[in-house]
Amino acid sequence: MSYATVGKENSTDLHLYYEDQGKGDAVILVHGYPLNGASWEKQTAALIAAGKRVITYDRRGFGKSSQPASGYDYDTFAADLHALVGHLKLESFSLAGFSMGGGEVVRYMGKYGTKQVKRAAILGGVPPYLLKAPDNAEGVDKSVFDGIEAAIKKDRYAFFTEFFKNFYNADKLLGSRVSEEVLRIGWNTAAFSSPAASLACVATWYTDFRKDVEKIGVPTLVIHGDADRIVPFEASGARTAKLIKGAELVVIKDGPHNFAWTHAEETNGHLVRFFH
């Protein structure tokens, strides 16, 4: 298994688990909460088939990566991604981030620039700013996030069960576009995440990315489901696409939060075309 060292906590080195497959131009895929890099399996296969080198990794606190007690903020997440890029000695690459991963993509470019980045895709991403505030009326009320944190503190396993129902709009799509087994593997993956990470990441969802978004000067694709119950389209994808000059917006009709699974063929077609 392959690991990149991204820091240290007390006497323990912190490692990111990653997979590096295929040949061609590199595309780094950044997963969503509370999954891991393997959740990109449908996109990984399609991009490799299209002649791309595909790199996936597990965010700190998730999957096979280290599970420290701290470091769950977007500056650290972006630094972890930067460390992985350095470990792999990548001189040019594209980025794609789903949900929370959209935050890494945006913060990475805001913090480290776009000299090495060819293209960027944001799928169901949390940017530009999800929290309702005096200067952000389109955001989500903080009480929603407080409720999620309370549910995780009480019983994170029960929370994950309900979360994945809305992650895939199971009441509408179960049996047609998503199976019980997919919900189960999502739950199993989430259950093995760090308890500290599964709670701490909630507050990162409403990080203010507006200044980062302003710095994006590479071709950008924004894809979002119009039936997203986790990250509302109007508060996120619709606004991100408007704020990034020249960004292309694709709306997946009836797409839930994880449309990359339920509408994989449509999603993959757009990604392969965009990353050509």
143 and 149 Cβ atoms separated by less than 8 Å: no
pLDDT digits (tens, 9 = 90+) for 210-236: 999 999 999 999 999 999 999 999 999
| CATH (domain of 163) | 3.40.50.1820
Question: Which one of the listed residues 94, 228, 236, 263 is annotated catalytic?
Answer: 228
Give the Cα separation of 254 and 262 in Å (integer): 10
Task: Name the active-site residue from 65, 66, 99, 236.
Answer: 99
CA–CA separation, 82 and 86 (whole Å): 6
pLDDT at 1 over 90: no
Confidence of residue 34 (pLDDT cuts 50, 70, 90): very high
Interval 73-118: pLDDT, tens: 999 999 999 999 999 999 999 999 999 999 999 999 999 999 999 9
Give the separation between CA 263 and CA 261, rounded to whole angstroms: 6
Domain count along the chain: 1
> Taking the model in full, what pTM does it have?
0.97
Query: Residue 99 catalytic?
Result: yes
Annotated active-site residue 65? The verdict is no
Domain hosting 173: range is: 2-275
Question: Exactly one of 31, 224, 257, 263 is catalytic; which is it?
Answer: 257
The token duo for 149 is 């944190």
Query: Which residue is it, tokens 């597990």?
Result: 58
Contact 95, 107 (CB under 8 A): no
| Separation between Cα atoms, residue 230 and residue 148, nearest integer Å | 11
User: What H or E segment, with its residue span, contains residue 105?
Assistant: helix 100-112
pLDDT tens per residue across span 47-59: 999 999 999 999 9
Average pLDDT, the chain: 97
Known catalytic membership, residue 228: yes
